[in-house]
Amino acid sequence: MLLPSLLALTLHQAPSSLTTVSEQSGWTRTGRYPEVESLCRAFPKAFPGKVRCDTIGTTPEGRPLLALVASADGTLTPAAAARKQRPVVFFQGGIHSGEIDGKDAGFWLLRDLLAGKEQPGVLKRVTAVFVPVFNVDGHERFGPNHRPNQNGPEEMGWRATAQNLNLNRDYAKAEAPEMVALLKYLHAWDPLVYADLHATNGAKFEHDVSVGIEPQKSGPAALRELGVKLREELFTELESQQHLPVPFYPSFIEDDDPSSGFAYGVPPPRFSHAYWATHRRFGVLVETHSWKPYAERVKATRNIVASLLRLVARDGAALRAAVKAADAADAAGTTREVVLAWKNTEQKRTIDFRGYAYERGASDVSGQTWIRYDDTKPQVWKVPYFEEIQPALTASLPAGGYLVPPAHAAWVEAKLATHGLRSQRLSKPVASAAVESFRATEAKWSTQSVENRQTLNVKGAWEPQSQALPAGTLYVPVAQEGVELVAHLFEPTGPDSLLSWGFFNAHFEQKEYVEDYVLEPFARELLAKDASVKAEWEAKLKDPAFAKDARARLRFFYERHPARDVQLRVYPVLRIQAAPHGLAAMKPAKP
């Protein structure tokens, strides 16, 4: 907990215009968004030439999405940072606006860094970019009852946006206006480290914070080594400050059963830190423990960001060199495989985890097992930890890239630009090209919407064919920085592909059809004249489910009728092994 003497010192030394509602209240409350707007104006006045207040975009409810940029030597624009080869650390609060620790920690830390009270000189070696609240409209859905399993502040914002979207599921599909604005800003700055600041839900235990960093177990080997080093040194500093960090998200493998243990996970790029890791940079997920008092959570968040700034300032040259080498390898087209999903192996070890005494038993209310913690009795749990991962789904990439037909090129092109990815159009048609096409052998929609989309899971395979390419076709090369995200977006079976998110659902819906009274005589004629079809038909009838399904039986013949839709269940995106002829100028990678 923040000591009273430290709180008093902070309030006494801080300029009143830069002291947050949170500090003034003794860390029991947090301010509304007008406070962010006021502080964003006040910081540049208090520290002229060292702070910039940027408006990134406007939310659906008309509020400005703001960022503070801090540098002791005036390196306050992406162009200036690139020119000086200045390392950048980008950190944000309030992507889930009930988890608002990052906002108050960031203002407190930046004020002390700029005043020279914290790590004097560090802002001459690193530029800090701070988004106090990402989900601004959700922040203003303010109330006292939003997170009943969180210990303060007294009132807080809401998890989702005004459009009821969870921004930390939106990075890959990039649909929310807030996300589009932030990604363009993020790619313009191109930070070495991107930290997303949360407060976790979950069980009761003594550990006060988890920090996930990637690359560490995924990505290029050189970056993994640096990620491990960054995490180890960060944890050494946190432990010296009496924190109890863990390197994994502290969610039990089985709900409400501590004995089931924990697992290390690498999520898909719909999540913030995984998204940035696919760009060969370092993504950091900070999750303070929701049951700790707000003062302790804000202090932990501040300490983590302060350490990240110091470590990146110290090691910026080495980190930049490794990132540059990874970018060069991707741009040269040396990346031939991309892991689209990871899973844990069976390998485990027993760890000591500092929890509390608990009981699990049957509930006469819910009828299920429920857990009761006694947080007056600390207890060391000896639990399994599954920390090893292996690929669960891997894609072999084409030597050339992906082709998007003109009907979809405009919106895909805009989305790629948001992600900092390059693409170019065919200025003239190609009469025939050797390509690969994906036809789904199985397509299954979600039974309910997910983040406002009906997701689609497909099975199938890429198959070679020759096809004409009309002018206006969009070519997306794999030989580019960000190739891992290219694969995630375009490989159809990946969990975060545009197809999986439902952007191409119409291509899996039957539009034209053949009447049953036409299919009935056609079926009899086909069976009479084609022995192979008859043999296949008789084999299918041995399946009781098929035999009882009138629609499936008629569909068997529809799929052999000359009027069938040959493009049904065909993914409209193609793969090609070399860049096609007739390409227009390449779109720039950075927005």
- Distances 274 to 194, 340, 426, 438 between C-alpha atoms, Å: 10, 11, 32, 27
pLDDT score at 14: 43
Rounded to whole angstroms, the Cα distance separating 576 from 579 reads: 7
pLDDT digits (tens, 9 = 90+) for 144-196: 999 999 999 999 999 999 999 999 999 999 999 999 999 999 999 999 999 99
Backbone angles phi, psi at 253, to 5 degrees: -60, -40
- The structural domains of the chain, with segments of one domain joined by +, span 4-253+262-331, 349-385, 396-509+569-576, 516-558
Burial 290-319 (b: 16+ CB within 10 A, else e): bbbebbbbbbbbbbbbbbbbbbbbebbeeb
- Distances 154 to 29, 143, 318, 376 between C-alpha atoms, Å: 5, 8, 43, 23
Say which amino acid occupies 360.
R
pLDDT score at 582: 79
| Number of DSSP helices (H) and strands (E) in the chain, helices first | 16, 19
Rounded to whole angstroms, the Cα distance separating 78 from 191 reads: 9
Rounded to whole angstroms, the Cα distance separating 210 from 289 reads: 8
Q: Would you call 465 helix, strand, or coil by DSSP?
A: strand
Count CA atoms within 13 Å of residue 322 on its CB side.
23
| 412 in Cβ contact with 580 (< 8 Å) | no
Rounded to whole angstroms, the Cα distance separating 303 from 322 reads: 26
Question: Which three-class secondary structure string do you get for 292-358?
Answer: CCHHHHHHHHHHHHHHHHHHHHHHHHHHHHHHHHHHHHHHCCCCCEEEEEEEECCCCEEEEEEEEEE
Secondary structure element (H or E) that encloses residue 503, with its range = none
Kindly list the strands in the beta sheet with 369-386, ordered across the sheet, starting from the edge strand earlier in the chain. Answer: 262-263, 369-386, 349-362
Closest CA to 460 of 476, 436, 486: 436
- Distances 400 to 87, 326, 575 between C-alpha atoms, Å: 32, 19, 8
pLDDT digits (tens, 9 = 90+) for 223-265: 999 999 999 999 999 999 999 999 999 999 999 999 999 999 9
pLDDT score at 7: 40
Closest CA to 124 of 114, 134, 111: 114
Tally the residues of the chain: 591
What averages of pLDDT result for each successive group of 10 residues across the chain (591 residues)? 39 63 97 98 98 98 98 98 98 98 98 96 98 98 95 98 98 98 98 98 94 97 98 98 98 95 98 98 98 98 98 98 98 96 98 97 94 96 98 98 98 98 97 97 96 98 97 98 98 98 96 92 96 97 96 93 90 97 70 51
Dihedral (CA of 520, 525, 528, 534) sign: negative
pLDDT score at 590: 58
- Distances 519 to 532, 543, 554 between C-alpha atoms, Å: 18, 21, 7
pTM beyond 0.75: yes
Closest CA to 21 of 5, 3, 38, 4: 38
pLDDT digits (tens, 9 = 90+) for 269-316: 999 999 999 999 999 999 999 999 999 999 999 999 999 999 999 999
Q: Kindly give the pairing relationship between strand 88-92 and strand 127-131.
A: parallel
| 283 in Cβ contact with 276 (< 8 Å) | yes
pLDDT score at 9: 36
pLDDT score at 587: 61
Rounded to whole angstroms, the Cα distance separating 521 from 523 reads: 5
pLDDT score at 513: 86
Closest CA to 176 of 89, 267, 272, 99: 272
pLDDT score at 201: 85
Per CATH, the number for 4-253+262-331 is: 3.40.630.10
